[in-house]
Structure 1
Amino acid sequence: MSSPAPKSPELSDKSKKYDRQIRLWGEHGQTLLEAATICLVNVTAVGCETAKGLVLPGIGGFTVADGSTVKEEDLGNNFFLDASYIGKSKALACKQLLQELNPDVNGDYVDESVDYLLENRPNFFDSFDLVIASNLNEKTLLLLSKRLWDSNVPLLYCRSLGMMGTIRLQIREHCIVEAHPDNPQFDLRLDHPFEALRGHLENTEVTSKVPWLLVLHKYLRLWQKEQTDGHKTPKNYKEKNQLREAIRKEMNADEENYEEAIKAVNTAFGAATVPASLKAIFEDEACELLTKKSNVFWIMAKALKSFLTHDNNGHLPLPGVLPDMTANTDSYIALQNIYRQQALQDADQVYHKCQDYLKQLSLPPDTIDERSVRSFCREAAGLTVMRGTRIAEDYERNSRLLPLVEENEVQDNLTAYNFALRAYERFLSECGHIPGECTAEQDIGRLKTIASKMLSDLGTHATISDDVLHEICRYGGAELHAVSAFIGGCAAQEVIKIVTKQYKPIDNTFIYNAVSTESVTLKL
C-alpha cells in the first residue's frame, strides 16, 4: 500500500508524533485508535507489554484492573513496576508508569480483582472496546470469556510462562474493509472497459510516452481480432505468451512502457470478477436480512450486491487506483482522472442504495457517510468477515484441537505446549497454587493427572509428554521479560487491527516457543 501524502507541508504536532503509523493505517485508522478504550486485566509482564504497545501509538484510554499489591518478586520481570510501589496497588503502579509513556492517553485503574468485578460489577467490562487479560486460572478465564462473549466485547487472552507464550483471540464477528492484501491486483477493466475509458483508449495515439495500459490495450485488440471470440482475454500461458510476443515485436530497445506492458500481461485482466469470499458475504444471512441493529458493514454489503446485480453487469465497482507507470505527466494524469471519476460514479450509486436501505430501516441518513462507501467500494475485492469461537469451546468434545492431537501421545511440539498451558491454568483453579512453585516433582504428577483428564474429557485417549509437563513445572510460574515483550508486541498488533478494522487479525490462536524460536497460528 502506498504511503498517504501529508495534506500540507506543515504537519500538526500530533501528525508529526504519529507520522510513521499513520502511513500504515491512515488518519482514519488513527482516529479510530484514539477513540478506543481498552481494559487490562491482571498486571503481568505480558499484559503490561501489550498495553505499552497500545499506549505508545495513542490508544484513546486504558483502565487497569488488578486487586493485588506489588511484591518484591514482581520487580524482576516487569519494567512497569518499581521498588517505590512495593506494598502498594499494582493497578495504580502500572497505570502511572504506562501513562508516562504518552500523556495524550487517558489512564485509569481499578484496585479490584477480576473475580470481584465479575461477581459484584459484571457490567464493568461492557463499556470497553476490547479487554486484554493474561495468566488467569481456568475458572476465572472461562467466567470472563463467557461474560465478554455475551456482551459482544472482544477478548484477547495472553499467556507467558518461561520460554512459552500464546495468544487467544475471542471475537464474535469482525468485519474488515481494508484488509491490505500482500499482493493486490489492480482493477484496470481492459477486458471490459467502461465508456469513458474506451473512448480514451481508442482516441489516444500510442507512443513511447503514454502509460503502458494504452500499449497493452492496443495489442490486446489486435490479438482479439485473430481469435474466434473477438472479446475474449488471454487466459492461459500460451495465449498470454502470444500477446507478449506481439508487443515485443513492435518495441524499440528504449521503450519502457512497452516493457511494462509485457510484464503486466499476467496481472492486467480479471480483477473485476467477484471473488468467492465476497460471494459468501453476499449470501450471508446478515446481508440478506437487515435489521435496525445490523452493522453498517452489512448494509453497505447489501447495497454493493444490488449494484453488482442490477447496475454493473456483475462487476465490482471500480477502485479508481492505478499502479505507477512510466509516462509523461499529462498522459498519466489524464488516465488517472478517467479512472477516478468512474470510481466516484460507482461509489455514488452504492451510496444512494445505502440511503434507501437506511430509510427502509428507519435509521438516520448520517449512519453511513459517502467517505465510508467510497472506501468500501475501493476495497470491495478484499472485504472479509471473521466469526470467532468462545474460549470455552476449546474445552469441549467438539473442539478443533482434536485433529491436532496424535493418536497415542501429544508430542513435544507447539500444540503440546499450548495444551500444557491450559492444564497449568486448571491446576491453578483446582490446587490453588502455581505448579512447580514449591515441590516440582510432586506437582508434575498432579499436572499429568489433570492433563490426562482434560484429554479424556475431549474424547481422546492421547497422553501428553512428561518432558512437556516438566518444562511447564520447572518455570514455577515465572515470566521471562524477553518472551513477554515479544508476545505483548504481537498482542498489541492484533488489538490495533481490531480497533482500526484494518488488516486481518489472527484466527484465533498463536503459539510461540522461544527455545526453538518456532511459532504457529491455529484455529481452535
Structure 2
Amino acid sequence: MRSGTDQENYDEAIANAWHLYQNSTVSPEIQSILDNPQAQNITPRSTKFWVLVAALRKFVSSENSRLPLSGVLPDMKADTTGFLKLQTVYRQKAAADKTKFKEILYELLDAAGRPQDAITDDEIDTFCKNSAHIKVVTGTNLRELFVDAIHSTKKIDEDEQDELYLNDSTDQFHIYIAILAIKGYIEQYGAQAGRKAMDALEQERLNTIALDYIKAFGGGTVYPQTSKILREM
C-alpha cells in the first residue's frame, strides 16, 4: 500500500504491530501490589494510596486484566485530522475508564464509612493516568536497625547501649526521634517549639517527649545528638 518512500507511518505501523498480538495483562510488579493484603482489606484507617490500589484491583478484575487507559496518545507520524480523531478516541476511553474507576472507589469508601471526597478528583485523575507505574517502597524498620539486631546477637549493658546511640552512624536515628518529638510537641501544645527562639521551657518539654520515644527504642537518655538536632529544627 506504500505509495512512496517517505511514509514513516507505514514503518511505525510495522514496528508496533506486535502489540496487537500480546495478551492484555498486568505486569508482575503491579500485580504484586494489587495482591498486597492492604489492598484487599480496606478499613477506615487505610491510607489513600491503598484505597486507590484496592479500587484498581477491582477495576483490573472486571476489565480482563486491563489497567485504566492513561488517555495519552503516543506521538506518531500522521496527518493532523487523523491524529486529532484518534486522540479524541483515546481521551473518551480514558474518561470512561476513570468514571468506572470512581464508581468502584466510591463503593469502597462507602463500605469503609469514609466520605467520597476523602480522595479528590485530581488525585483520582493522577492515579488513573499513572496506574501502570505505581510502586511501593518499604523503608527499614528503625527498631530492627538500631536495637533488635544487636540484642539478637549479644546482651548489652546500659553503657554499651548508650554507646550504640552515640555512634556517628546513628545520625538518622536522632533525626527521626527529633521529628517525632516535634510532631508530638505540636499535638500536645498546639504550636511548634522555637518559632522565634527556643526557650528553656520549650527545650525541656521537647526533651521529655523525645525521651519517651528513645525509651521505646531501648535507649535511656536524650543523647547530645538528639538535643542538637532538636535545637536546630
TM bracket, shorter-chain basis: 0.5 to 0.7
- Mapping for residues 456-471 of structure 1, pairs under 5 Å: none
What is the letter of the counterpart of residue 49 of structure 2? F
Q: TM-score, normalised by structure 1?
A: 0.27
2:106 aligned partner:
355
Query: Do the aligned residues in 2 keep the contact of 1:317 with 1:380 (CA within 8 Å)?
Result: yes
Give the structure 2 partner of residue 287 of structure 1. 39
The amino acid across from 1:292 in the alignment is: P
Aligned twin of 1:368: 119
1:305 is displaced (CA, Å) by: 1.3
In the alignment, which residue of structure 2 is the partner of 1:277? 29
Q: CA deviation at 1:429?
A: 2.6
Deviation at 1:338, TM superposition (A): 0.2
What's the counterpart of residue 303 of structure 1? 55
Say yes or no: does 1:317 pair with 2:54. no
- Per the alignment, residue 390 of structure 1 pairs with 141
Q: Measure how far apart 1:337 and its partner are.
A: 0.5
- TM normalised by structure 2 equals 0.59
Gaps of 5+ in 1: 1-206, 208-249, 400-424, 435-524
CA-to-partner distance for each residue in 1:481-502, whole Å, 9 max, x for gaps? xxxxxxxxxxxxxxxxxxxxxx
Distance 1:363 1:330, change over 3 A: same
The answer to whether residue 85 in structure 2 is matched with residue 334 in structure 1 is yes
- Residues 441-456 of structure 1: matches in 2 within 5 Å? none
**Aligned match of 2:7 in 255, 270, 274?**
255
Aligned length: 157
**1:412-467 CA deviation, whole Å, 9 max, x = no partner?**
xxxxxxxxxxxxx958937xxx9xxxxxxxxxxxxxxxxxxxxxxxxxxxxxxxxx
Tell me which residue corresponds to 2:166: 429
Measured in 2, the distance between the counterparts of 1:339 and 1:345 equals 10
Question: What is the CA–CA distance in structure 1 between the aligned matches of 2:144 and 2:73, rounded to whole Å?
Answer: 45
Show CA shifts across 1:29-66 (max 9, x none): xxxxxxxxxxxxxxxxxxxxxxxxxxxxxxxxxxxxxx
Alignment partner of 2:68: what SS? coil
Q: 1:384: Cα distance to partner?
A: 0.8
- Separation in 2, partners of 1:344, 1:379: 14
Say if 1:427 and 1:306 are closer, same or farther in 2 by CA, change over 3 A.
closer
Structure 2 residue 80 is the aligned partner of structure 1 residue 343? no
1: CA distance, partners of 2:106 / 2:79? 41
**Contact 1:354–1:368 (CA<8 Å) still a contact in 2?**
no
Is residue 39–residue 57 contact of structure 2 (8 Å, CA) maintained in 1? no
SS at match of 2:60: helix
Conserved? CA contact 1:274–1:315, under 8 Å: yes
Give the superposed CA RMSD. Answer: 2.9
Q: In the superposition, relative to structure 1, how do residues 392 and 426 fare at CA in structure 2: closer, same or farther (>3 Å)?
A: farther
1:389-419 Cα deviation digits (max 9, x unpaired): 13453356869xxxxxxxxxxxxxxxxxxxx
Which residue identity does 2:74 align to in structure 1?
P
Please list, as runs of the form range in 1=range in 2, the aligned pairs for 1:171-250 lying within 5 A after superposition. 250=2
CA distance in 1, matches of 2:148, 2:21: 47
1:319 and 1:303 mapped to 2: Cα distance?
Answer: 16
Quote the sequence identity (%): 30
Higher strand share: 1
Distance 1:260 1:429, change over 3 A: same
Greater fraction of residues in helix: 2
Which residue number corresponds to residue 17 of structure 1? none
Within 2, Cα distance between the matches of 1:285 and 1:427? 35
Q: Using the alignment, how far apart are the partners of 1:352 and 1:397 within structure 2?
A: 45
Aligned 8 A contact 1:278 1:383 in 2: yes
Secondary structure of 2:137 counterpart: strand
Matches within 5 A, 1:153-172: none
TM superposition shift of 1:262:
3.2
8 Å CA contact 1:287–1:299 kept in 2: the answer is yes
Higher relative contact order (CA 8 A, sep 6+): 1
Give how far 1:341 is off: 0.4
- Residues 264-312 of structure 1: CA distance to partner in whole angstroms, max 9, x if unpaired? 34667649421112211121111111111111111111111112212x1
| Closer/same/farther in 2, CA of residues 395 and 315 from structure 1, 3 Å limit | same
